[in-house]
Amino acid sequence: MWLIPAFPLLGYLIIAFLGQRLTGSPLPVVEAGGHDDHHGGDHAATDAHAHNAGPSDAPEFAADHAAAASGVASGHGANDPHGPTAHGDDHGSSHGGHDEAHLKPGGTKLVGGLATLMVFLSFLVSLLVFFSLLGAHGEGTARVFSPAFTWMNVPPFADPLGSEVMKGLNLNFQLAVDPLTSLMLLIITGIGTLIHLYSTGYMSHDKGYARYFSYLNLFVFFMLLLVMGSNFLVMFVGWEGVGLASYLLIGFWYTRQSATDAGKKAFIVNRVGDFAFLIALFLIFKFFGTFEFYGPGGVLTAEGIAGAKAAGYLQGGLALGLGAVTLVPLLMFIGATGKSAQIPLFVWLPDAMEGPTPVSALIHAATMVTAGVYMVCRAHSLFLLSPTVMTIVAVIGLTTAFMAATIALVQTDIKRVLAYSTVSQLGYMFLACGVGAFGIAMFHVTTHAFFKALLFLGSGSVIHAMSGEQDMRNMGGLGLKIKTTWRTMLIGTLAISGIVPFAGFWSKDEILLHAFAGPNENGLGSPLLWAGGFIVAGMTAFYMVRMMMKTFAGQPRFSPEVGSHVHESPPSMTFPLIVLAFLSAVGGFMNAAPLGIHAFEHFLGDTVGWRERVNYPLRVENTTVLILLAASALLAIAVCLWARSAYAKAPRGERLTEQQKQANPLWRWTYNKWGVDEIYNGIFVRGGKAFSNFLWRYMDVKVIDGMVNGVAGGIAHFANSIRGWQSGYVRNYALTMLVGVVLVVLGCLIGVGTFGGGR
C-alpha cells in the first residue's frame, strides 16, 4: 500500500535531483555576451568558481551549472530579461515564445514521461486496491491498513509516588484504505495521470519543465498522504503538504510578483484554516486521547465517541459557551474552509489562477480543494453530533455557492470564471454535507473532478491556442478552429450546468433534493436551502454558457497575427480532454438515484454514513421528488437556451457596454468580488503591518530597549558623576577618610544605642 504514495515521491526525487541534467541546461535568450559551453553540467561545481573569478557577464550560467552538478536543482532557467514579467497579466506567458528554452527533447520526454508514469503506476495500484475492496464489500467497513512506523512517541507519565497519570501519545505513521479513500485515490491518480499527460504538452516549451513536474509529483504524493492517512496527524501532513505544493506551483513563474504574491496568499490563508484545524486536534486529543480514525478507541468509532462522552465531550462551556462537541467540528470546518476555499477563507483560490493551467485543473479544481469536503465526510460522525455545526456548514456552503456564482457572472478572464465556478461548486458540496448527504457530497466531488478538470484543461487548450491570451473579450469564434477543444468543453459545460443526462445533473439534483428535505433525523434540509441552491444552479448554467459563447462563438476579436497561430493542441493534450469528456458525459450514472442506482453511495457505505441515511430516508413524497427533479432539469435547459440566444445576439459578445457596466453599482460590486479582498487587505494586511510596526518601532526600540539603555545610561551618568571623587589629591582622600571614619563611628554609636540598649 505504501506503493501508492511511493511512486510519486520517487518521481519527485528523481526529477528533483536529475531533472536538470535530463532536460539539459536551458538556453535562454541572452543579449550580452554568452558562454560557449552551457550544455551538460558535469563539471559545474568548479565552474561556479571559474565564472565568478572570470570576467563573466553571464553568471547565471554558473548558477545553472552548479545546479546541474549538484543535482539538487531541478529544471531551472537562467535569467531572461524577456521572461514572464514582460507579459504583465498574460498568464499563459510561457507560450509566448520569449522564454522558450531549448530543452533537450529526449530529456523532456523522459522527465514528463517519468512523472506521468509514476502517477499512472499509482493509479494501477489504486485500481487493484479498489477492486479488492469492491470484492470484500462490507458496507464500507472494509479497511486495509499498511505497515506503520512510530512517528512520535511520548510515554505516559505515572508519578512513582502518587497515582497521578498523564496520558502519553503514541502516534503511528500509517496508511489505510477504505472505500472513501479508495475513491479519492482513483480521482487523484486517475485525473492526476491525465493532467500529467496533458502537462507534457502544455509545458513543453517552459524552461522550468523539470521543476514543474517535480512539484506536480510532490503534490500527488502529499495528496495521497492526505487521503490515506490512518489518523488525523498523517492527514495533517498531507493537508499542509498539498498547501506547500500549491504554494510552489502557484508561484511557479516566480519572476512575476503577482504569482508569488498569490502563492504566499494561498499558503497563509490556508494556515489560518490550519490553525483552527490544529486547535480541533488538541481538543480531540484531550477528549479522545488518540488521533487514530479507527481501531480500538478510534476517534471516528462508536467506542471512541462513547469514551469521549465519558470524558465530558458533550459538556458545554469550554469556550464562548460552546462545548467540545460543537467546537471540534466547527474548528475542523474552519480548516476545511481554508483548503476548500469557502467563506471566509476563499480569497486565495481566484488568485491561485496565477499558476499554470494544468495546476489549476489538478490542484485547484479536481483534488486539493476537495480535501475539505473529504475531511468533513471522513469525520462525519463528529459533525453529526452537532446539528448547530451542520447548519453552519450548509449555510456557509450555500452562501459561498451563491456569492461565487454572482462573481463568476461578470468575470472576463476565462480562468477566473472557472475559479469562481469552482468555489461555487465546492459550496454545493458543503451544502450537501451540511444536510447530512455526505455520500452525495462525495459524488459531486467525483463528477466535479471530471467536468471541472475538463473545463480547466480545455481553457488551457484555448489559452495555448491563443498564445497566452486569457481575456475572453479578445476571443470569440474559436469553435471552428479548435474543434476538439470546443466539443469537449461543450460536454463539460452541459455537465456542470446540470443538463440531463450528463454527470453534473445527477449529483447536483441529488444535492438539491437533500437540501429540500434532508435525510437526517434532525431534519436539516429546508425549502429555503433548496431555493438558494436552485438559483445558484440557474446562475451556473448562465455563466457557463456565457463563457462558452464569448470564447467560441461569434466573430473573432483577436488580432490576425494571433489568429494565424491558432491551432488545435497536440494529442497529448486533447487525449485527456476526450477521456474527461467521456467521463463527464456518463459518469453520473454511477449514482443515478432517480433511476434507482445507488452503487456509488452504497460502495462508500459507512465511511459516509450510508446507514444513517438509509435509516432516515427523505421526508417527502415521491411526487415532490419528481417535481423537484423536473424543475431543476428544465431550469438548466431553459437558462442555457436563454443565455445562448442572449449572447448570440450581443454585439462583440457583450451584452452591456463598458459605460453601462461602470454605471451599474451591482456590476461594479460583483466585478470587484464583493470587495472582500479590499476589506481583508485593509484590516489584516495593513492593520497587521501597522500594529507590528508599532510593536517594533515603539515597544521594542523605545520602551523596552529605552528602559535598558536608560538604566545603562543612568549607571554611566552616576559613574561619571562620582568619577570626580577620584581626583588624585591626597587632601581630598584624607577628607573623605575623615568623613568615612566619622560616619562609621556615628553608625556604631547609633547601632549600640538602638540594638545594644536592649541588652
Q: Which of residues 154-183 bind another protein (CB under 8 A)?
A: 154-162, 164, 166-170, 173
For another protein, the binding residue among 708, 734, 748, 749 (CB under 8 A) is: 708
For residue 39, the minimal CB distance to another protein (Å) is: 17
CB-wise, 21 or 550, nearer to another protein? Answer: 21
| Segment interacting with another protein, rule: CB under 8 A, options 47-55, 341-349, 555-563, 630-638 | 47-55
How many Cα atoms within 13 Å fall on the side-chain side of residue 331?
Answer: 20
CB-wise, 153 or 672, nearer to another protein? Answer: 153
Residue 29 lies near another protein (rule: CB under 8 A) = no
Kindly identify the residues of this chain, within the stretch 224-243, that bind another protein according to CB under 8 A: 233, 236-237, 240-241
- Please count the residues of this chain forming the interface with another protein, following the rule CB under 8 A: 86
For another protein, the binding residue among 2, 275, 402, 589 (CB under 8 A) is: 275
Residue 718 lies near another protein (rule: CB under 8 A) = no
Cβ–Cβ under 8 Å, residues 78 and 30: yes
For residue 44, the minimal CB distance to another protein (Å) is: 9
For another protein, the binding residue among 12, 64, 460, 518 (CB under 8 A) is: 64
CB-wise, 178 or 240, nearer to another protein? Answer: 240
For another protein, the binding residue among 4, 66, 566, 628 (CB under 8 A) is: 66
For residue 63, the minimal CB distance to another protein (Å) is: 5
Residue 82 lies near another protein (rule: CB under 8 A) = no
> What are the two backbone dihedrals, phi and then psi, of residue 645, each rounded to the nearest 5 degrees?
-70, -35
CB-wise, 131 or 157, nearer to another protein? Answer: 157
Residue 526 lies near another protein (rule: CB under 8 A) = no
SS3 157: strand
Rg for the chain, CA atoms, rounded: 32
Which residues are bridge partners to 452 per DSSP?
A: none
Residue 274 lies near another protein (rule: CB under 8 A) = yes
Look-up: residue for cell 442572449? 646
For residue 259, the minimal CB distance to another protein (Å) is: 8
- End-to-end alpha-carbon separation of the chain, Å? 90
For residue 285, the minimal CB distance to another protein (Å) is: 5
Q: Measured between alpha carbons, how far is 641 from 534 in angstroms, rounded to an integer?
A: 17
| Segment interacting with another protein, rule: CB under 8 A, options 56-64, 126-134, 186-194, 736-744 | 56-64
Q: According to the 3-state scheme, what is the secondary structure of 91-114?
A: CCHHHCCCCECCCCHHHHHHHHHH
CB-wise, 645 or 681, nearer to another protein? Answer: 681
Residue 716 lies near another protein (rule: CB under 8 A) = no
Fill in the per-residue mask, 245 to 264: x = in contact with another protein (CB under 8 A), - = not in contact: --x---x--xx-x--xx--x
Residue 140 lies near another protein (rule: CB under 8 A) = no
Cβ–Cβ under 8 Å, residues 537 and 636: yes
For residue 302, the minimal CB distance to another protein (Å) is: 24
For another protein, the binding residue among 285, 402, 582, 667 (CB under 8 A) is: 285
| Segment interacting with another protein, rule: CB under 8 A, options 62-70, 360-368, 493-501, 665-673 | 62-70
Kindly identify the residues of this chain, within the stretch 664-693, that bind another protein according to CB under 8 A: 688-689, 691-693
For another protein, the binding residue among 614, 627, 638, 704 (CB under 8 A) is: 704
Q: Measured between alpha carbons, how far is 107 from 114 in angstroms, rounded to an integer?
A: 10
Kindly identify the residues of this chain, within the stretch 559-598, that bind another protein according to CB under 8 A: none
How many Cα atoms within 13 Å fall on the side-chain side of residue 117?
Answer: 10
β 169-173/165-166 pair status: unpaired
Q: Please return the burial class of 323, using the count of CB atoms within 10 Å of its CB with bins 0-12, 13-18 and 19+.
A: middle
Q: Measured between alpha carbons, how far is 629 from 637 in angstroms, rounded to an integer?
A: 13
Q: For residue 653, how many other CB atoms are within 10 A of its CB? A: 20
Q: For residue 747, how many other CB atoms are within 10 A of its CB? A: 10
Query: Helices marked H in 482-570 — which ranges?
Result: 483-497, 503-516, 527-552, 560-565
Cβ–Cβ under 8 Å, residues 327 and 318: yes
From the list 350, 400, 618, 371, the residue with the least C-alpha distance to 509 is 618
Residue 146 lies near another protein (rule: CB under 8 A) = no
| Segment interacting with another protein, rule: CB under 8 A, options 101-109, 147-155, 491-499, 723-731 | 147-155
From the list 250, 256, 442, the residue with the least C-alpha distance to 364 is 250
Kindly identify the residues of this chain, within the stretch 335-394, that bind another protein according to CB under 8 A: none
Look-up: residue for cell 522550468? 208
